[in-house]
Amino acid sequence: MSTDRRRAILEGAARVIARRGVRGLRMEELATEAGVSTALIYYHFKDRAGVLRHTLEFISDRADRYTSDASGPGHPDGHDGPDGPRDALQELEQSLLLEFQDLPEVRENSTAWGELRASAIFEPELREDLARATLTWIYDVADLLGHIRPSTPAPALTAAAERLTGLLEGLSTRWLSGALPLDHARELVKEAVSTEVERLGR
Amino acid sequence: MSTDRRRAILEGAARVIARRGVRGLRMEELATEAGVSTALIYYHFKDRAGVLRHTLEFISDRADRYTSDASGPGHPDGHDGPDGPRDALQELEQSLLLEFQDLPEVRENSTAWGELRASAIFEPELREDLARATLTWIYDVADLLGHIRPSTPAPALTAAAERLTGLLEGLSTRWLSGALPLDHARELVKEAVSTEVERLGR
DNA sequence: GTCTATATCAGGATAGAC
DNA sequence: GTCTATCCTGATATAGAC
């Protein structure tokens, strides 16, 4: 059925991008990966750029999903009990560390995200979607920081979130390029979180 | 003369990469940019990959040069007077902020660096050179941190340097992809520096 | 060392049948 | 909606003259 194939193509694109990069994405390899013909890809996505755009969207949605899963079923509405800040800290750490796992889906997401980010330097069409997704991420993190340090002015929360997410993108690229072992990356992230939280508290 | 042309090609490559990215580097555009024929590029660098390798080297050398210029002529040997730590802080901030300037050469270096870093995820050949250059950078920053906070154990300095340089790479990509205004990026870097320095002091 | 001209080929995209 | 077959551009790389 139509929708299934569409999805298969997008999932395939995420895998191929993780393996070869955006620059290495070949329509034919994608076709094979997804088990369809190249023509069908063009039928559904118009052209190569269309595939990239929709893959970005697909990736972001998927990341949203597993990121919000990390909050756990406990406080879906963001309401904290007396031990709120404690939990919120854990939750923040958790959600940031999700990016650093050696699981196929995570690697795919990180790789594709990094690739699309890097591509956007030279392909302005991607910028808008990317900017939106980035903002959402930053606000989510700022929100968690707000739970940990209530009564911190919003701009300070946002700035801290920008630093944490920015660091994550930097470390992620290093990890994926083999320049930084996974557990060391996780260590650095944890330290960064505690450093930022402490800063907000002083 | 031979050496001049070689250099012209590498300078041209840095410019073209800044404009189009590694993935967008076309041998013919490079030839035009450098004012030579494509054949000459192959004569000097064997193939496209050779051009990329040598350009990375070229870029790193150039970055070393302008980064160490930032230390200023005052303390070339790293020896500080009584006001050492103060100056060292300035110097660290300066040296990190160098990456965030809207000057052609800086943009070229940042862009090329980010591109090569991203390419390394899929092209293992580049990894070794990149790792070496990264380590040098990290140690330089750790060294400056050591001037600011003497008697800090080396591993803590290194970790802080890894976070700062990692953040820089992340923010740099955001800046270049138009997702982060230059002055905001500089602001975030300054805050990160003071946060890390404070952490080392506690 | 450097150029002009060209071989070669990969890969994006489409036509047309089913 | 999906496939097979194919076109054709654009890019890497080389041959051979100077």
Three-class secondary structure assignment of B14-30: HHHHHHHCCCCCCHHHH
Predicted confidence band of residue B133 (pLDDT cuts 50, 70, 90): confident
Domain range for B75: 55-200
Whether pLDDT at B77 is above 60: no
Closest residue on chain A to B184 (Cα)? A159
Whether A15 is in a domain gets the answer no
If we measure between CA atoms, which residue out of B134, B61, B26 comes closest to residue A122?
Answer: B26
Residue nearest to nucleotide D5 (CA to C1'): A39
Q: Does B16 touch chain A (CB under 8 A)?
A: no
Residue-wise pLDDT for A150-181, tens only, equals 999 999 999 999 999 999 999 999 999 999 99
Q: What does pTM read for this prediction?
A: 0.88
Whether B107 is in a domain gets the answer yes
The answer to whether A179 contacts B115, with C-beta atoms less than 8 Å apart, is no
Residue-wise pLDDT for A97-155, tens only, equals 999 999 998 999 899 889 889 988 988 877 888 898 899 999 999 999 999 999 999 99
Whether pLDDT at B57 is above 70: yes
C1' (D14) to CA (A122) span, angstroms: 31
Whether A192 is in a domain gets the answer yes
Number of domains in chain B: 1
For B169, the closest of A20, A162, A170 (CB atoms) is: A170
Structure tokens at A191: 């330290």
Closest residue on chain B to A107 (Cα)? B121
Q: Does B30 touch chain A (CB under 8 A)?
A: no
Torsion of CA B34, B36, B38, B43, to 10 degrees: -100
Whether B103 is in a domain gets the answer yes
The mean of the pLDDT values for chain B is 89
If we measure between CA atoms, which residue out of A190, A186, A97 comes closest to residue B199?
Answer: A190
Q: At what angle do helices B48-69 and B104-120 cross, to 10 degrees?
A: 130
Query: Are B33 and B12 spatial neighbours (Cβ–Cβ below 8 Å)?
Result: yes
Distances (CA, A) of A149 to A3, A88, A188, B93, B161: 44, 9, 21, 27, 26
Torsion of CA B135, B90, B178, B124, to 10 degrees: 0
Q: Does A181 touch chain B (CB under 8 A)?
A: no
* Residues A51, B22, A54: CA angle, nearest 5 degrees: 10
Q: Does A120 touch chain B (CB under 8 A)?
A: yes
Tokens 């520096």 belong to: B193
The mean of the pLDDT values for chain A is 90
CATH number at residue A130: 1.10.357.10
Whether A11 is in a domain gets the answer no
Tell me the C-alpha distance between B120 and A178, whole Å: 8
Whether A182 is in a domain gets the answer yes
Flag the least confident range among A15-19, A111-115, A141-145, B74-78.
B74-78
Tell me the C-alpha distance between B75 and B80, whole Å: 7
C1' (D16) to CA (B11) span, angstroms: 29
Query: Are A17 and A115 spatial neighbours (Cβ–Cβ below 8 Å)?
Result: yes
For B114, the closest of A118, A191, A196 (CB atoms) is: A118
Tell me the C-alpha distance between B71 and B92, whole Å: 8
Higher pLDDT, B112 or A37: A37
Whether B28 is in a domain gets the answer no
The answer to whether B198 contacts A196, with C-beta atoms less than 8 Å apart, is no
Q: Does B199 touch chain A (CB under 8 A)?
A: yes
Whether B14 is in a domain gets the answer no
